Structure 1
Amino acid sequence: MSEANQSVAKKLFISVEGPIGVGKTTLTKILSKHLNAFSLREIVEENPYLKNFYENIEEYAFQTEMFFLCNRIKQLEDVEEHKLAKGVSVVADYNIIKNLIFAGLTLNLNQFQKYKQVYSILVESLPQPDIIIYLHGHTDLLMKRIELRDRPFERNMSRQYIQNLSNEYEHYFAPCSLKHYFTTKIPKLIPVNVDNKDFINNPKDLEYILQEINRVVEGTAPLREVK
């Protein structure tokens, strides 16, 4: 066990975030094992609108986004009651703010304004993470990973959509945006560029992430700027 593992002893709530194909679920599995934490994974393929959404975004955007919002809220309410409230650390492969990111790309202005009103009411009392690990990388790498995992509903995903999504993530996870969108509790941000950090195959890169988590726990990590 590494030094990073040994010193992370208190309850933590960590969100792993980033655009499609960046490795959120993989890192969540790895961290939950190393930190002896509960692994919370978002519901994706169970969304009944998803296949139609990627074939006709304009037609199915609102139904798709509302399904994701309601299911993630229920997941977070459950994990707060059954895990966090009982002192169990949690690593999630999403943060609820991703709903705003995706909805902002897919909904028209009128729909998005209504969606934000519902979002603000429903997420107000949800638990917020202590740490967000923000994974980001070049669009070509993300497209290659999406192609390799070959999920049926992702096969028609355009490069422009992934580029736009990455741009939105950069906006939302900039320090000034964190202060705006996380008004009750600003999480510490750990940005990880997957173009040059291979936490799957390189133990040193994984150790870097664990050490950054440690710095937050020890109170020595400032709010980070995204590089």
Structure 2
Amino acid sequence: MKNTFISVEGPIGVGKTTLTNILAKHLDSFALKEIVEDNPYLKSFYENVEEYAFQTEMFFLCNRIKQLEDVQKKYLDRGLSVVSDYNIIKNLVFAGLNLQNGKFQKYRQVYAILADQLPQSDIIIYLYGDTDLLMKRIEMRDRPFERNMSRDYIDRLNREYQHYFDPCSLKHYFGTKIPKVISINVNHRDFVNCPQDVAYVLKEIQRVHEVSTSSQEVQSC
């Protein structure tokens, strides 16, 4: 597939980067990965969410916008494909969870302005799983800034993602271009050790891509 932008999304610990690396290799695409550790507010945020939420979310927004602008110029505009371990919509997911309503409304206005001209994903692979599984994976990877993360926070984040990726919600958050969404429950999936699980995702991507291409051909006639 040429000039296709695929994003892998889902809550913390669901396996986004792992699947992104695997798909990028299989699809001969550039793997775009979000920069997390460089956020200077992140450690303070997990220690005091209310105090540092706005600074943390604004840093992530500006950082991801720059990444997406660069990937547009270097890859998508040249007809190359990209697999990303995030979609820009995650900024709204986390901001909606972490910001008080007044600040969230201001943040959403800024988001709408800045995100309007960014490249939009053709396909989003939405990964989801039980909160207990996410907590286990977070513990196993043992990132320093995630050590104080509570189960309650991950559970609320999990439910926030479920809201945003509910089929009835998509049109409210993705503007004029609503991506094709492939939802995958990871509770019984192992993309590292089970080739059949990877094959399933690749088959779903191909199916969705073919349907999307056919629709575009019909509309152009």
- Give the structure-1-normalised TM-score: 0.92
Q: Matches of 1:177 and 1:183 in 2, distance apart?
A: 11
Q: Matches of 1:132 and 1:149 in 2, distance apart?
A: 24
Of 158, 175, 178 in structure 2, the residue corresponding to residue 186 of structure 1 is 178
- Between the aligned residues of both structures, percent identity stands at 71
Of 120, 123, 126 in structure 2, the residue corresponding to residue 128 of structure 1 is 120
Q: Matches of 1:47 and 1:220 in 2, distance apart?
A: 36
Letter in 2 for 1:80: Q
Is 1:100–2:92 an aligned residue pair? yes
Alignment of 1:10-29 (within 5 A): 10-29=2-21
- Structure 2 partner of 1:159: 151
Gapped runs of 5+ residues in structure 2?
214-221
Query: 1:11: how far off?
Result: 2.1
Closer, same or farther: CA 220–185 of 1 in aligned 2, 3 Å:
closer
Is 1:61–2:53 an aligned residue pair? yes
- Structure 1 partner of 2:217: none
Q: Matches of 2:138 and 2:24 in 1, distance apart?
A: 23
- Structure 2 partner of 1:5: none
Is 1:43–2:35 an aligned residue pair? yes
Letter in 2 for 1:185: K
Of 84, 108, 113 in structure 2, the residue corresponding to residue 116 of structure 1 is 108
Q: Matches of 1:168 and 1:124 in 2, distance apart?
A: 22
SS in 1 for 2:46: helix
Kindly provide the CA deviation profile for residues 52-105 of structure 1, in whole angstroms up to 9, marking residues without a partner as x: 000011110000000000000010011001110001100000000000010111
Query: 1:180: how far off?
Result: 1.5
Is 1:148–2:140 an aligned residue pair? yes
Letter in 1 for 2:62: C
Q: Matches of 1:148 and 1:10 in 2, distance apart?
A: 36
Alignment of 1:55-94 (within 5 A): 55-94=47-86
Cα root mean square deviation, aligned: 1.1
Of 201, 205, 221 in structure 2, the residue corresponding to residue 209 of structure 1 is 201
- Give the structure-2-normalised TM-score: 0.94
Letter in 1 for 2:74: H
Q: Matches of 1:111 and 1:179 in 2, distance apart?
A: 23
* Runs of 4+ displaced beyond 2 Å: none
- Structure 2 partner of 1:32: 24
Query: 1:220: how far off?
Result: 7.1
Gapped runs of 5+ residues in structure 1?
1-8, 222-227
Query: 1:181: how far off?
Result: 1.0
Provide the aligned length of Structure 1 versus Structure 2: 213
Is 1:175–2:175 an aligned residue pair? no
Is 1:199–2:186 an aligned residue pair? no
